[in-house]
Amino acid sequence: MIRRIDATDKAIELIKILKEKHGELMFYQAGGCCEGTQPQCFEKGGYYQRMGDVCIGTIEDTEFWVDKDLFEYWKHAHFTLTVIDAFGVGGFSLETPLKKTFQIEYRIFTEEEEKDLEPVSFID
């Protein structure tokens, strides 16, 4: 099965640091402006997803949720979570005090990959 999301080593390292400090985590990628332009990292349960939002996979046992409308737009794309040294938009994400910002890089799945994608889960 083809994963819908992966992460760079640098992003995984930061997730481990944040888990040590905050416990279980979750990611949410919204589709709007401000906080929605980059994935936000919260303590698990610290953000309430909406009906229809989609979990596209996990990174380091951390669920990665996507806004239902954004998923519809990007459902044919692979997400790679990365991190840069910068202050992100909104400042609500847990990495902000560390002067880091999670980002997503996208690429379109090949036709072959589309045939073997991992299933997603939805909020009913």
Residue 124 located in a structural domain: no
Give the phi and the psi of residue 78 in degrees, each rounded to 5: -90, 135
Give the single-character DSSP code of 37.
Answer: G
Range of the domain at 90: 5-115
The CATH number of the domain where 51 resides is what?
A: 2.60.300
Which contiguous run of DSSP H or E holds residue 7? strand 5-7
Residue 120 located in a structural domain: no
pLDDT mean across residues, the chain: 92
Counted domains in the chain: 1
Residue 48 located in a structural domain: yes
Residue ranges of the chain with per-residue pLDDT less than 50:
none
Residue 49 located in a structural domain: yes
Q: How far apart are CA 100 and CA 108, in angstroms?
A: 26
pLDDT for the residue numbered 86: 87
Residue 122 located in a structural domain: no
Residue 123 located in a structural domain: no
pLDDT for the residue numbered 32: 67
